[in-house]
Amino acid sequence: MKKILELHDKIRPLFNKGGKYEKLWPLFDAQDTFTFTPHEVTEEGAHVRDAIDLKRVMITVVFALIPCTLFGMWNAGHQHNIANMGATQGMAADILRGALIVLPIIFTSYAVGGLWEVLFACTRRHEINEGFLVTGLLFPLVLPPTVPLWQVAVGVSFGVVIGKEVFGGTGMNVLNPALTARAFLYFAYPAELSGEVWTSLVAGGEAVSGFSGATALAVVANLPQDVSPVAALCEAGFDWMTLANGAIAGSIGETSLWACLFGAVVLIATGIGSWQIMLATLLGLFAGATLFNMFGDSSYSQLPSYYHLAIGGYAFAAVFMATDPVSAAATKTGKWIYGFLVGFIIIIVRIANPAYAEGAMLAILFMNVCAPLIDNYVVEAHIRRRTA
Amino acid sequence: MASAKKIIKDPLFDNNPITWQMLGICSALAVTTQVNTAMVMSVALTFVLVLSNMTISALRTLIPTKIRMIVELCVIATLVIIADQVLKAFMYDISKQLSVFVGLIITNCIVMGRAEAFALQNNVRDSMLDGLGNALGYSIILVAVAAIREWLGSGTLLGIQAMPASYSGNLLMVLPPGAFIIIALLIWAQRTFISKTLREDN
């Protein structure tokens, strides 16, 4: 370790201003601060002494994502083997097969997105931002495992460049970059994102439908009148426990409620994810579902609220996407309003809009756009109360 | 008085009506899914813009200031109806694809904007050149956006296959948001590269 440090200090002048590799400074800086404590310290103004910086925050989120990723890997292999071999091939074989499917997607996402990050960091001469550590992993997890790799590359390019860099980079983006990337693919290549490539087995030929995930959503979306949605789901093999366990077709990281719950616990315990937003989305989801239960006239609207919790991509979206500190509302009251509306809009899109099976992506992107407005009014109301 | 060359050249890049003045965005979103509709639209707009600029410039001393907008609109509307009827008579299929958008040239901000900002203060020759320059600036962007959208969205250019047969079209490019994104990227490129010369000149 000491040797490496000495090497770093020796070559540092090469990358400083005026040095030979000046243009590559962001690359050196990223490697340097990733391995060692940075040399820079805050120079002026009040500063807080704390061990946590952007890197630690992002690494914690990546850690919280591990169960979703591992479960997604197993599930991708599991579904693949069921669809192609007729039955599961045992735990180890399923994981191996899943890793072969999922790892290239994650690798593509990191490589291509990382390339754009470095490019922008070098031209604009700022540090390489750690935010991409999370975006690069979140994005593959909301894709179906059947997505072609070139689409992953195109999608992540769009997410990083249009979703983030045009606004000025990490911390300036209006929209969540991972969801922007996904929205791009969703509207550009709907055929692949609702995938019919290998899992056409579950639920009567309806395949993985992306973030909107689960075939289970497709089952309830097209119910004839006077059929109970719960009965229909159970008949299709989706009772509540199956949905929550998540050994079903869907996007890579979103199917298991428990893995998402683990992420939620980690994020809340470390204080990185906002528990207000997560709880508020839940309230919004339940409120929306209950309203439809009382007043809705289609049979889908009779689906009990706790089913909406386990079905589709809600849990993953609420825990990892809605809580993105940059694009979410920042004020305390604002977080409650923002989260509540995310949950509520998910229900509206799911039940009332026949064009989209799942509303999680659309609801969060929509509320991302509204978040500054919410914050603005919350602050304004606060000032008015104080001056009155 | 600005030279004739400058009047024509300015709106092509540095003072482009779409990417710099942000006018006429609506039609740039609507008719740019295919190159040939974009071209016909460009011709129609060039016809209207040049003639309206000339007419209004010729009438500029006769138009009472208080009702100048109404007079301008009458001139523009007349020209637009002529363009629309000609298209319907001789290019019925394309006219159907363009649907209301030829008629909507009446509300195109570029036409009204040039009449207000230029034709009312300048002679007929300069006004004609100004109309031509702005129409060309509009056409360049329109055709460029349409070419990118048709190429990426359907894999064709002017209806001829321009991508490998296995290319799967990017449907976002066919949807109106695709045009928003392409125009935004063009604006980005313009402000990064082309206006560098503009800054150095000043």
Q: Residue A187: which of B168, B175, B188 has the nearest Cβ?
A: B175
CB atoms A166 and B171 under 8 Å? no
Say which amino acid occupies A309.
Answer: L
Checking DSSP bridges between strand B160-161 and strand B156-157, what pairing results, if any?
antiparallel
Q: What percent of chain A has pLDDT over 90?
A: 20
Amino acid at B5: K
Structure tokens at A369: 């756009």
Q: Say which DSSP state B66 is in.
A: G
Taking only the tens place, the pLDDT of each residue in B14-51 is: 778 888 778 878 778 888 888 888 898 899 999 999 99
Residue A219, pLDDT above cutoff 90: no
Q: What integer pLDDT is reported at residue A202 of this predicted model?
A: 36
* Cβ contacts of B170 on chain A, cutoff 8 Å: 188-189
pLDDT single digits (tens) A98-115: 888 889 999 999 999 889
**Subunit contact A191:B173, Cβ cutoff 8 A:** no
Report the distance separating Cα B21 and Cα B10, nearest Å.
Answer: 12
Among A81-85, A211-215, B155-159, the range with the most confident prediction by mean pLDDT is B155-159
Give strand pairing partners of B161. B156
- Across-strand partners of A39? none
B177 CB neighbours in chain A (<8 A) are 187
Residue A356 has pLDDT above 70, yes or no: yes
Tell me which of A124, A189, A193, A196 to substitute to probe the interface with B (most B C-beta atoms closer than 10 Å): A189
Q: What is the phi-psi region of residue A320: left when phi exceeds 0, alpha when psi lies from -120 to 50, beta otherwise?
A: alpha
What is the structure's pLDDT at A280? 94
CA angle centred on B154, ends B150 and B157, rounded to 5°: 45
CB contact, 8 Å: B40 with chain A?
Answer: no
Chain A interface with B: residues with Cβ < 8 Å: 162, 166, 184, 187-191
Residue contact A187–B172, C-beta within 8 A: yes
pLDDT tens digits, A235-278: 777 788 878 887 777 788 888 888 999 999 999 998 888 899 99
Distance of alpha carbon A367 from alpha carbon A365, whole angstroms: 5
C-alpha to C-alpha distance for A250 and A214, rounded to whole angstroms: 5
Count of alpha carbons within 13 Å of B94, Cβ hemisphere only?
Answer: 24
Tell me which residues of chain B, numbers 142 to 201, contact chain A at a CB-CB cutoff of 8 Å: 168, 170-173, 175, 177, 181, 184, 188
**Rg of the Cα trace of chain A?**
22
**Confidence (pTM):** 0.82
Nearest to B181 among A162, A189, A190 (CB): A162
Indicate the average pLDDT of chain B: 84
pLDDT over 60 (residue A212): no
For B75-101, the DSSP string reads HHHHHHHHHHHHHHHH-HHHHHHHGGG
What's the DSSP call for residue B194? I
Contacts of residue A263, defined as CB under 8 A and 6 or more positions apart, other chains included, come to A64, A65, A67, A68, A319, A320
Q: What pLDDT, on the 0 to 100 scale, is given for residue B110?
A: 87
